Amino acid sequence: MGKRTIIPFGPQHPVLPEPVHLDLVIEDETVVEAIPSIGFIHRGLEKLVEKKEYTEMVYVIERICGICSFGHGWGYCLSVEGVMGVEIPERANYLRTIWHELSRMHSHLLWLGLLADGFGFESLFMHCWRIREKVLDIFEKTTGGRVIFSVCKVGGVRKDIDEATLKEISSVVDGMKKELKELADVFLEDYSVKNRLCGVGYLSKEDAAELAAVGPMARASGLKQDMRLLGHGVYDKLGFEPCIETAGDSYARCKVRIREVFQSIDLIIKAIEMIPDGDISVPVKGNVPANECVVRLEQPRGEAFYYAKGADSKFLERMRVRTPTNQNIPAMVKTLQGCDLADVPMLILTIDPCISCTER
Amino acid sequence: MAAFKIGKVVLRSLFKKPATLMYPVVPRKWEERTRGHIDININDCIFCGICARKCPTNAITVDRNKKSWTIERMQCIQCTHCVDLCPKHCLSNENTYTTPEVEKVVDLHVAPPEEPKPASDDTNKDSVEKKNA
Amino acid sequence: MEDLRETVIIPVTASELYSKVSDLNEDGYRLVQACCTKVSEGFEIIYSFDKEHELLNLKLTIPEEEEIMSITGITWSAFIYENEMQDLFGVKFKHMSLNYGGHFFKVSQPTPWNPKN
């Protein structure tokens, strides 16, 4: 047995600007144990519901995270609509689904870029982000914001997308397919990339189930788990089937996300073809009744959980947001055990951590 | 042997126009819906204070007696909730960002004193003061 | 498949929580989350479990002083939620497998969401 050393990793570390701290117990070059520690950017946003009216709170909730901002807004609105018993118009459901899938594309492209950066492939990183920029331009054109959209509200959406813009979105995302295919080939077939990804950070199906992994992490280990199957938005009408890989290593996680980008493109094009005319919101008035509602939503990073509890006033009594990273930290700790020190940054990256989300 | 798969993409981008703008020499194009900053037409404002009460970040203050409308630019998150709620539709969303500053900027708009004869040349001129808090 | 609006919440008592959770675990349920709400009687803790997209919630209401059994012995991934509740609300847990002792979240005052004074 070699000598054990503890190496502190983070909160400032070379992977991505997410303040996670890990105490890595190292034996020679191998990680024996990793002890996670978070809490550097806890903001107490959940507590703020007691001070902000439910209609304003959506703008605060959206700012939990910059990447899955739309998902948080949607989850909050769904849970409050559930408590109040509001039915939203069909067109709003379609628009929400389109924006959510666009968010997934931009989140996964950002992640693919960061992964390339993580194993030192700078030009691949730049090209991923070049494509992502087109999605951000669509966001700015349709919602007015590149990162935070402020477009979801309790009772529907705030902005409509006209016919011409919908057609344009459809052709832009369709055109992205060709460029994405070239980059997907690099990720999936390039010799040096495969060397860094294949067999690294293996998580078996049993472990993934036991440690309750969610999102692409679980799907890469062969679990059929995708909250889009629950039927939020219009996923049931679009004929959605989750992307599942069985290898359970970093390569499989990369492959799941690449397949999901292509799937999102198809879903967006299909939704744009099927979108009906009509209203985009219904007026919502009055207090939130003393009810409870639980909503689960598939965000780019995995399953997010929202729990809203009304108190017969304009303010909610409790709003709970449980983000996918929170659930993936135990699985991340598990994959770190037994890996090389040089692979640690990349393995942290493969769960797509968002610590700002986790701490709210 | 699938090595240097990115070669094609790299070679092509070598001879193409850059994907980035030569900012700030080439100014960026603003979309119509871009949420840049909130502007007010102070002449129509009735100082009801709804915008101040509903603002998620408490960036707006309204003083009914002094007839003033103040916005803390650095605190505003451009959610445009106030624009939706304004009963007189005097708030609007402009599609340009505010300039970067090193100190917190507070914009104060004061309504012009009421004149006996409307429709004179001075009515459109609202007095805008900028001060640093 | 569950109805979107339907929320199944089953009330449990502190003594039967551990056996109930271990039954669910053996049935193949995974822990989705656990969260705490400050109510007038003390704390209201909701444990959510999922099996093939079916959600099940257990609701536990305890007075503030009561110590409850940690479920980290059954599902290790609960350590995040238990430490979070311990740091933010001051819920007391027995036999936690990974206890940060109030240092999981770096808060400037103890139990900020349930202030003592």
Sign of the CA dihedral with A178 first, then A183, A186, and A187 last: negative
Chain C residues whose beta carbon lies within 8 Å of the beta carbon of residue A209: 28, 30
**Per the CB < 8 Å rule, is C106 touching A40?**
yes
Distance from CA of B4 to the nearest CA of A (A): 7
**Per the CB < 8 Å rule, is C33 touching A292?**
no
What confidence score (pLDDT) does residue A303 get? Answer: 87
Q: How far apart are CA A184 and CA A180, in angstroms?
A: 6
Chain A residues whose beta carbon lies within 8 Å of the beta carbon of residue B93: 144
What confidence score (pLDDT) does residue A212 get? Answer: 82
Chain B residues whose beta carbon lies within 8 Å of the beta carbon of residue A189: 2, 5
Bond before A11 cis per omega within 30 degrees: yes
Length in residues, chain B: 133
Tokens of A122: 């700078």
Top CATH class of A4-354 equals mainly alpha
What confidence score (pLDDT) does residue B123 get? Answer: 42
Q: How far apart are CA B36 and CA A271, in angstroms?
A: 30
Q: What is the mean pLDDT of residues B114-120?
A: 55
Q: What is the pLDDT of residues C40-83, one digit of tens each?
A: 888 888 888 888 888 888 888 888 888 888 888 888 888 888 88
Interface test with B, best of A112, A125, A140 (most B CBs within 10 A): A140
Chain A residue with CA closest to B37: the answer is: A144
Q: Report domain extents, chain A.
A: 4-354
Tokens of A86: 């509001």
Higher pLDDT, B128 or C31: C31
ipTM: 0.83
Find the DSSP H helices in chain B. 7-14, 50-54, 81-85
| pTM of the complete model | 0.86
**Per the CB < 8 Å rule, is B80 touching A55?**
no
B56: nearest CB among A56, A145, A159? A56
Asked if C25 and C76 touch (Cβ cutoff 8 Å), the reply is no
**Per the CB < 8 Å rule, is A190 touching B79?**
no
What confidence score (pLDDT) does residue A237 get? Answer: 84
Distance from CA of B50 to the nearest CA of A (A): 13
Q: How far from A331 is each of A15, A347, C15, C114, CA to CA, in Å? A: 18, 11, 29, 30
What confidence score (pLDDT) does residue C85 get? Answer: 85
Tokens of C36: 């705490």
Chain B residue with CA closest to A59: the answer is: B79
Q: Is the pLDDT of residue C113 over 80?
A: no
Find the DSSP H helices in A85-153. 90-118, 122-143
Tokens of B64: 């009914």
Chain C residue with CA closest to A334: the answer is: C77
What confidence score (pLDDT) does residue B122 get? Answer: 45
Higher pLDDT, C34 or A14: C34
Distance from CA of A101 to the nearest CA of B (A): 20
**Per the CB < 8 Å rule, is A231 touching C1?**
yes
Find the DSSP H helices in chain A. 54-62, 69-84, 90-118, 122-143, 163-189, 191-197, 205-210, 216-220, 250-274, 324-336, 344-350, 355-359
Asked if A345 and A234 touch (Cβ cutoff 8 Å), the reply is no
User: Is it true that domain C9-94 has CATH number 3.30.460.80?
Assistant: yes
Q: What is the pLDDT of residues A47-90, one digit of tens each?
A: 888 888 888 888 888 888 888 888 888 988 888 888 888 888 88
Chain A residue with CA closest to B7: the answer is: A186
Length in residues, chain A: 360
Top CATH class of B30-93+103-132 equals alpha beta
Neighbouring CB atoms inside 10 A of C110's CB total: 12
Task: Give me the residues of chain A with pLDDT under 70, please.
Answer: 1, 15
CB of C74 less than 8 A from some CB of A: no
Q: Is the pLDDT of residue B128 over 70?
A: no
Interface test with A, best of C6, C22, C32 (most A CBs within 10 A): C32
Q: How far apart are CA C103 and CA C110, in angstroms?
A: 10
Chain B residue with CA closest to A123: the answer is: B10
Q: Is the pLDDT of residue B130 over 60?
A: no
What confidence score (pLDDT) does residue B84 get? Answer: 86
Chain B residues whose beta carbon lies within 8 Å of the beta carbon of residue A183: 6, 9
Q: Is the pLDDT of residue B120 over 70?
A: no
Q: Report domain extents, chain B.
A: 30-93+103-132
Q: Is the pLDDT of residue B76 over 70?
A: yes
Give the confidence band of C117 by pLDDT, cuts at 50, 70, 90: low
Q: What is the pLDDT of residues B41-74, one digit of tens each?
A: 888 888 888 888 888 888 888 888 888 888 888 8
Q: Is the pLDDT of residue B127 over 50?
A: no
CB of A210 less than 8 A from some CB of C: yes
Q: Is the pLDDT of residue C2 over 60?
A: no
